[in-house]
C-alpha cells in the first residue's frame, strides 16, 4: 500500500525534505538494494506511524513506489527531497 504523507508533522507539498536535517535509519536504508536506490534516486529513511518514509526526487512516481513495496513490511509514504541533500545522502 502506498500512501501520501498524512502526518500532521508532514511538510506541505511545496516544501522539500532536507535530508541533511534528518537522522537516516540505516536498517531501512539498507533494505533497498543500492542499485535501485542510486538509479531511481530513492532513500528509505525511517519507519514512523506504521509506514516506511521514502525520500525521492519525484514523490508522485506511483510505478516506482509499487515496485518498491516488496522490499518493505509496511506501507510506503513518499516525500519529495531537496535534490542536493538527496544526492549527498545517497553518495
Query: Per residue in 45-56, pLDDT tens?
Result: 999 999 999 999
Order of strands, sheet of 76-80, starting from the edge strand that comes earlier in the sequence:
2-3, 76-80, 51-56, 42-48
- pLDDT score, position 11: 47
- pLDDT score, position 74: 93
- pLDDT score, position 59: 77
Beta strand 42-48 pairing with 51-56: antiparallel
- Residue 23 near residue 48, CB atoms below 8 Å: no
Residue 2 CA to residue 35 CA, distance in Å, equals 22
* Chain-centre distance for alpha carbon 86: 10
Look up the pTM and report it. 0.78
Q: How many helices (H) and strands (E) does the chain have?
A: 4, 4
Percent of the chain residues past pLDDT 70, beyond the cut: 85
Below-70 pLDDT ranges, the chain: 1-14
Amino acid at each position: 500500500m502506498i500512501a501520501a504523507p498524512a502526518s500532521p508533522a508532514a511538510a506541505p507539498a511545496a516544501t522539500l525534505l532536507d535530508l541533511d536535517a534528518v537522522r537516516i535509519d540505516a536498517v531501512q536504508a539498507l533494505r533497498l538494494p543500492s542499485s535501485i536506490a542510486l538509479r531511481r534516486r530513492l532513500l528509505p529513511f525511517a519507519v514512523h506511524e506504521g509506514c516506511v518514509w521514502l525520500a525521492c526526487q519525484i514523490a508522485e512516481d506511483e510505478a516506482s513506489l509499487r515496485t518498491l513495496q516488496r522490499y518493505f513490511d509496511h506501507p510506503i509514504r513518499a516525500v519529495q527531497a531537496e535534490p542536493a541533500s538527496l544526492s549527498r545522502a545517497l553518495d
